[in-house]
Structure 1
Amino acid sequence: MKEPIETERLILRELIASDDKGMFELDSNPNVHVFVGKKPVKNIEESRSHIKIIQQQYKDFGAGRWAVVLKESGEFIGWSGIKFITNEINHHKDFYEIGYRFIEKHWGKGYATESGKAFVDYAFDVMKVEALYAYADEGNENSRKILEKLGMRYVNSFEYEGELEIWYELKNPNL
């Protein structure tokens, strides 16, 4: 397991089996899924399976989404992090994507930006990736603002799984 990352308010760490209840709370909420496929999970077993898939990504690629935990209380509030994408999206394949998803009651508190900045630094300074990419549903203005706060720049619009998406990139300034 990799060392956790601490920010001012958060602890970022690899997902563990006991995150299943938090993951289920997150991914069973239809509001969370409005801009990410509209397919909320229906039972906790789906969340447990998803955690196992992410844990396998840690082994296969040295990267994956991490749990975001409030430093003050230890509460699981969502996930954030770097994922290695092997399928083709917007003419890109085998690339690192930054992403985040939070339990609804924690929206609008700056956690996505705070964790995202930590993962940009981690990707560039520790992982030494050349670039990070992200995409967001055209209508998801809040997520798009967060990506821009992270320093990502708009590249183009494209269609993915029947939805119009906005593609962003950020090059590693240290390479």
Structure 2
Amino acid sequence: MTDIATERLKLRRFKADDAAALGAMLADPETMKFFPYVAETPAEGRRLALKHITYFERHWQERGYGVWAVTEAGGRLVGRCGIRNWESIDDIEVLYLIERSRWGRGYATEVARAALEFGFNQVGLERIAAVTHQDNSASQRVLGKLGLRFVRELEIEGLPALWFSVERKDFVAE
């Protein structure tokens, strides 16, 4: 199991017990406004979270890398972040989602940087991509801080999106 500690946060594998907290994020319309799905109720959010957690664990088992739960020092789940193979873009993607009450603290940049470092230095990846909604300027700023560059426009599940990418040789860790 590969846990990562950043300056303020911990990235660890998901547990079934995380479903309620992750489900609450997935059911928050503001948090999910740039995603192609949002759970309609907390119960639906929990069911969706359990599906995600199962997928994340299978990805770890099959690939040796995947998506972590993001927790604060006290253990409170505040997001998810990681790298995964994404068939929709036929590439390896860095992804992140931070609970709305924690926005504006630099958490997304902090954990995405850790995921990129892991992907390049531990997994040995040569390139990592990211996709964000074309109107998600906050996510685009995160990607820019991390050295990802715009590649092209695309559509993901009916939503207008932007594809970014960074190669190992161009990635600069802090």
Give the TM-score normalised by the residue count of structure 2: 0.90
**Residue of structure 1 equivalent to 2:133:** 137
Cα distance in structure 2, aligned partners of 1:108 and 1:50: 25
Question: What SS does the corresponding residue of 2:51 show, helix, strand or coil?
Answer: helix
Question: TM-score by structure 1 length?
Answer: 0.90
Change beyond 3 A, Cα 1:78–1:173: same
Specify the code of the residue in structure 1 equivalent to 2:5.
E
Match of 1:66 in 2: 68
- Provide Cα deviations, 1:68-107, integer angstroms capped at 9, x if missing partner: 0112x2111010111111x242xxx2x2100100111011
Quote the Cα distance in structure 2 between the aligned partners of 1:13 and 1:164: 31
Distance 1:113 1:136 in 2: 14
Give the secondary structure class of the aligned counterpart of 2:169.
coil
| RMSD across aligned positions (CA) | 1.4
Give the corresponding residue for 1:76.
77
Percent identical among aligned pairs is 29
Alignment counterpart, residue 155 of structure 2, candidates 155, 159, 163: 159
Show the counterpart of 2:14: 15
The within-5 A match list for 1:95-106 is: 95-106=91-102
Which runs of 5 or more structure 1 residues have no equivalent in the other structure? none
Point out where structure 2 has 5 or more consecutive residues left out of the alignment.
Answer: none
User: How many corresponding residue pairs?
Assistant: 167
- Structure 1 counterpart of 2:47: 45
1: distance between equivalents of 2:10 and 2:110? Answer: 11
